[in-house]
Structure 1
């Protein structure tokens, strides 16, 4: 999909929505009255006053002669937003008036948004309600001459209308009609106050998000239950824009509606929020509340039977929701309450039915939004495409940043100014962006959790979460895990995977907060990260005890002169030191004794100096170092150490005495080819859980035998080594991950522990024998790509149903019987992906398409349950060793939905060799239903070269059962806008790829 087509689609959707709103009501007010009582007096004056106020009003003298008056009156009642009913002394004597009232009350029931406003003109409301006085006399006559059922309905309608909010001349303005009319007109203006919110200019991508949220979360007009929906996400990500679009689209479908804005900033004025809620929904501008407690009770009492739409925007305190009576029992059936917040914890405290996390914009949408603000067009000027994509990268899909930066650059037409402005923004965040994001930081509960956030933003992004928790725990009297949860709930941190992620602009906001601590004297700040500031502090010896952490990275062959260790002398509270290719001269005793984290890539010395106090360190990373041996025995060794990384220290020949590291959990020696012995020392690592020995040139058995004693070992990485066989590892009862990729001399894998979840032995070209695997019920992933001598895996079919992934493409010696059994078993319950060297689609797949064709399916309406789709492809390439990402496009023409699904990346190792991929796509994502017309197409997008991988055939089947592993998350399902019934274009298939690659000329 290109940006132009999306812009046109969005504009069309917005225009259509606007048209529906403007054409819904023909008149704003319909006047119902008894002409003999009021036409030439009160009604005439009221009609003139309404017209003078600009209110479009219907009065019966506008009816044209010769037409069906009753039918035309009914049409005008239906087409008017407010029906003003003027009850006068002889109103009930008129059958026309009573029938008109009944029509009005039926429309009030049937038409969402219809308002009935009674006026009691020289008649008491109780006479109307109880049909007494002149109304009682009129009904005595009606009961003698009219149909009883109709008379009874008139009575009900009079009672119901008298119970509505209106005005009584006898009790208002001392019966002065002029003042009374002014009061009525004021009320009607309040009732007509538009509920349509101003649409955001250039609302790129909003139409699709509204449709997605409406379908999956709101269910307007569907469930009659009261639904509370939470929308949460980081500041500036477009939560309010989305909520306003939802509100504008659906508020007409509710009897009452209210949009409460900027609730966070109105904490001290809760009474005003309660008043606004009641006034907007009840259409009563005169409602007054004297206390919060009274307001809560009034909301519960008055709105309990009404179907309402309420948006509470920018809430950060669950107590405010309690005071606004945001509970399921407070509102009528079919109501929808939408809560907007940066803090997910607010939604966890409040019982919400569904939560929607607002996502950053796609690169394509981001480029279009930036272009509207910077160029006044849907795409950038051609010569600015590269710079524009740099800006998109900087903004990270944040709409607020795209708008602010786009406007900032709009007046500049010089490429050099664009570049310099972007460089400045990368070092000093724009004030508006900073202030918006900082609100979430300011809302953190205390200085301790704020400090944890600042530590992460400066030193720990993209690091393993377990490591960071251990490091920060060691610095604090408190366990920081709860702080992590608080920060994540505030959308300041993403900790969904093993690694800590943070949006670049959130990171920059944290760094700007620290910079502002002492803008002119960096040595007095708590954390240093900027190259210029750090080098200045180290050169001038201006560091102070305020510094908690410091980062300095230099190029590998930097000509920067060594710094003196004395520059660290005053940094007595330094806990985090992150260096790269930095050289120090002098005694290491000047470095802080409080260090917990030492990350020094390119460490320049052959051994860690004896006077370097390592005793409090939790993590040491000296990868790419010049170390020959790690350290000498001393009293300053890191006895609290949990993580030691010495990757690619190619000069390292001697391992340390691991008995001095009793708490070590992770040890990585990847690429340490020079190690010549001491492997028996591994046996001392009683607590070791993760061991990385990839590419260590291991050829003998001594090291392998010592591994059998590591009873707590969970992960073992042995890729790229030259041993011929493995020892029996079945005694490692905690081992879950074993990597043996590119062990090209390995001929056999003996017995393995039954705890194993993942085994990778790709490109083991001599591997012939796999163990009998009858008890491997925990295994979910087995990869044996290009093991060309392997013929069989005994008992694999016994545990295949639990697996997510089986890669055996390139295993050219597998027997036909083995492959046939695997394919049949995979057909059963497996939800993951199977890859084999096979030439054709299995015959049990009913829908098959050849190269460049699309599979077309109509889901049988008789299916009681749909588990999803089985998809199988045959693919090959004219080239060897080319890679590609498989994308499956599923278009539901009936529901008008489209998915791009990314189930795997693959490498074709042999030219013209055919491979099969077979996998299942869960219907929990696709939502297929009986009768749907569906198209399925598959292709590969190259990621590393231009050698194309071609899909030769595609086969599909519909699965009626539920997949065993239905919550499988390895596959990326991306729902994208549906544009037409036509097949996907090439541009559509590349939607998820980096914009640079798509738009490069």
Structure 2
């Protein structure tokens, strides 16, 4: 029985109803879960030596007792990651096989694999393609190759990866440097906060994610397991953490940024200008500040925000393809779309203060998805919306105040999709 939390242990000990004399075998990587008063015997299996590990990996990857010619160095990298654990060697060896190892000889496929492992597992495939294409990857080809090599799967349109493969990808990034700020991708929330708080980011960083709530949860679980004190006790009662914008000043190559429960203060001119994807959950301002660099942005996601309008005035954003400001209760107006000619997806789901959509949307020639689901105060759709030939999906379910004539006319021409 696999264990990872102490409450499961207590359940086993007190409430599970095993018959007298029953023996329970518990497997866990967290040795401090095992209380000496509750566990009679602890067995720590020995790890394989490097030679034994390489042989086991080779049997599963190549059907031989050693790596085939040209794959020894790559196999040793996998074996080093597995740290002598037989199950990991078996799972990874069976997953990767020879054709999977070829990925590491293809720079595009390797980078797509690492980006997905660090930031995009569980995200929609098509959205990921849009974002990573903006980073100059051949993403569709990369995803196809990864799936063909059993390194990635697609389930219900979302990217999935075996946790051992995902962990291995992250470990590869960790080995770029002993110092997090010298690595290409930062996904551990503690490391992200330390880099932002201490302002020691570097040009090496291309992607970073930070979620205050995840950091607090991780620290709570660490303290609960180890008994150590909180590393960041001041964060415990905060709902939003303030970060100064100059924390990003040295990250000139930052392209992927994912934030949650963060408020920025300072001048926005120092924020990296190469940003392609900005995911900012619980954005606290009423509009995106003037000077925030968006010229090269491909995807902007600001769900559960405090926005009243996305930005003031008109903007020319020639690269923006996806705009998502769903679940923003105060959003009252959409932007002028005249300067966003490449916009393909506009998602305004559950914005109850939204009354209308700017008429300029009918000028867009590439938009294929418009999601207005549960915009309960939406009164009308733009005139001539039915003339937008590229529009494939219009979701107006839950728009209870939409004027019937507009609603009916549009539904005759485009099926309102409730799937997004």
SS at match of 2:157: coil
The aligned residue for residue 534 of structure 1 is 192
Residue 437 of structure 1: CA displacement? 5.9
The aligned residue for residue 522 of structure 1 is 180
Which one of 157, 172, 192 corresponds to residue 498 of structure 1? 157
SS at match of 1:650: coil
Q: Does 1:709 align with 2:366?
A: no
The aligned residue for residue 446 of structure 1 is 106
Residue 720 of structure 1: CA displacement? 1.6
Residue 718 of structure 1: CA displacement? 1.2
Residue 693 of structure 1: CA displacement? 0.7
SS at match of 2:408: coil
Q: Note if contact 2:333-2:354 (Cα within 8 Å) is conserved in structure 1.
A: yes
CA distance in 1, matches of 2:200, 2:318: 32
CA distance in 2, matches of 1:657, 1:485: 37
Deviates more, 1:537-546 or 1:553-562: 553-562
Written as runs of structure 1 = structure 2, the 5 A alignment for 1:313-712 is 367=1, 382-383=12-13, 406=27, 413-414=34-35, 431=83, 432=85, 440=96, 442-444=101-103, 445-476=105-136, 479-519=138-178, 521-555=179-213, 558=238, 561-633=241-313, 637-698=316-377, 700=379, 702-703=380-381, 705-712=383-390
Aligned CA distance change for structure 1 residues 442 and 684 (closer, same or farther; 3 Å): same
CA distance in 2, matches of 1:592, 1:653: 29
Q: Note if contact 1:686-1:712 (Cα within 8 Å) is conserved in structure 2.
A: yes
CA distance in 1, matches of 2:37, 2:187: 26
Which one of 710, 716, 721 corresponds to residue 399 of structure 2? 721
CA distance in 2, matches of 1:417, 1:443: 48
Q: Note if contact 1:639-1:661 (Cα within 8 Å) is conserved in structure 2.
A: yes
Aligned CA distance change for structure 1 residues 620 and 409 (closer, same or farther; 3 Å): closer
CA distances 1:649-692 after superposition (whole Å, capped 9, x unpaired): 11111211111111111111111111234542332333221111
CA distance in 1, matches of 2:11, 2:353: 55
The aligned residue for residue 65 of structure 2 is none
SS at match of 1:716: strand
CA distance in 2, matches of 1:503, 1:710: 41
Residue 456 of structure 1: CA displacement? 0.5
Residue 706 of structure 1: CA displacement? 4.4
The aligned residue for residue 751 of structure 1 is none
SS at match of 2:300: strand
Q: Note if contact 1:714-1:737 (Cα within 8 Å) is conserved in structure 2.
A: no
CA distances 1:275-307 after superposition (whole Å, capped 9, x unpaired): xxxxxxxxxxxxxxxxxxxxxxxxxxxxxxxxx
Residue 578 of structure 1: CA displacement? 0.4
CA distance in 1, matches of 2:403, 2:240: 46
CA distance in 1, matches of 2:291, 2:156: 38
CA distance in 2, matches of 1:570, 1:529: 18
CA distances 1:428-460 after superposition (whole Å, capped 9, x unpaired): x97326666666375423232111111001111
CA distances 1:12-57 after superposition (whole Å, capped 9, x unpaired): xxxxxxxxxxxxxxxxxxxxxxxxxxxxxxxxxxxxxxxxxxxxxx
CA distance in 2, matches of 1:411, 1:590: 44
CA distance in 1, matches of 2:305, 2:326: 8
Written as runs of structure 1 = structure 2, the 5 A alignment for 1:839-850 is none
Residue 611 of structure 1: CA displacement? 1.0
CA distance in 1, matches of 2:260, 2:375: 23
SS at match of 2:144: helix
Q: Note if contact 1:437-1:506 (Cα within 8 Å) is conserved in structure 2.
A: no
Q: Note if contact 1:602-1:623 (Cα within 8 Å) is conserved in structure 2.
A: yes
Aligned CA distance change for structure 1 residues 484 and 656 (closer, same or farther; 3 Å): same
TM-score, with length taken from structure 2: 0.70
Q: Note if contact 1:460-1:468 (Cα within 8 Å) is conserved in structure 2.
A: yes
Q: Note if contact 1:588-1:611 (Cα within 8 Å) is conserved in structure 2.
A: yes
Aligned CA distance change for structure 1 residues 705 and 436 (closer, same or farther; 3 Å): same
Residue 479 of structure 1: CA displacement? 2.3
Residue 566 of structure 1: CA displacement? 0.8
CA distances 1:886-920 after superposition (whole Å, capped 9, x unpaired): xxxxxxxxxxxxxxxxxxxxxxxxxxxxxxxxxxx
Equivalent residue pairs, number: 332
Higher relative contact order (CA 8 A, sep 6+): 2
Residue 710 of structure 1: CA displacement? 2.5
CA distance in 1, matches of 2:118, 2:15: 31
Q: Note if contact 2:326-2:351 (Cα within 8 Å) is conserved in structure 1.
A: yes
SS at match of 1:659: coil
Residue 614 of structure 1: CA displacement? 0.6
CA distance in 2, matches of 1:554, 1:412: 26
Q: Note if contact 1:610-1:634 (Cα within 8 Å) is conserved in structure 2.
A: no
Residue 632 of structure 1: CA displacement? 2.9
Aligned CA distance change for structure 1 residues 667 and 567 (closer, same or farther; 3 Å): same
Q: Note if contact 2:330-2:351 (Cα within 8 Å) is conserved in structure 1.
A: yes
Residue 698 of structure 1: CA displacement? 3.7
SS at match of 1:660: coil
Q: Note if contact 2:297-2:317 (Cα within 8 Å) is conserved in structure 1.
A: yes
Aligned CA distance change for structure 1 residues 525 and 411 (closer, same or farther; 3 Å): closer
Q: Structure 1, unaligned stretches of length 5 or more? A: 1-366, 372-379, 387-402, 419-428, 740-757, 761-1001
The aligned residue for residue 47 of structure 2 is none
Residue 561 of structure 1: CA displacement? 4.1
Aligned CA distance change for structure 1 residues 687 and 414 (closer, same or farther; 3 Å): same
TM-score, with length taken from structure 1: 0.31
Aligned CA distance change for structure 1 residues 559 and 705 (closer, same or farther; 3 Å): closer
The aligned residue for residue 63 of structure 2 is none
Q: Note if contact 1:438-1:509 (Cα within 8 Å) is conserved in structure 2.
A: no
CA distance in 2, matches of 1:548, 1:416: 48
Aligned CA distance change for structure 1 residues 676 and 407 (closer, same or farther; 3 Å): closer
Residue 506 of structure 1: CA displacement? 2.3
Residue 484 of structure 1: CA displacement? 0.8
RMSD: 3.3
Aligned CA distance change for structure 1 residues 609 and 383 (closer, same or farther; 3 Å): same
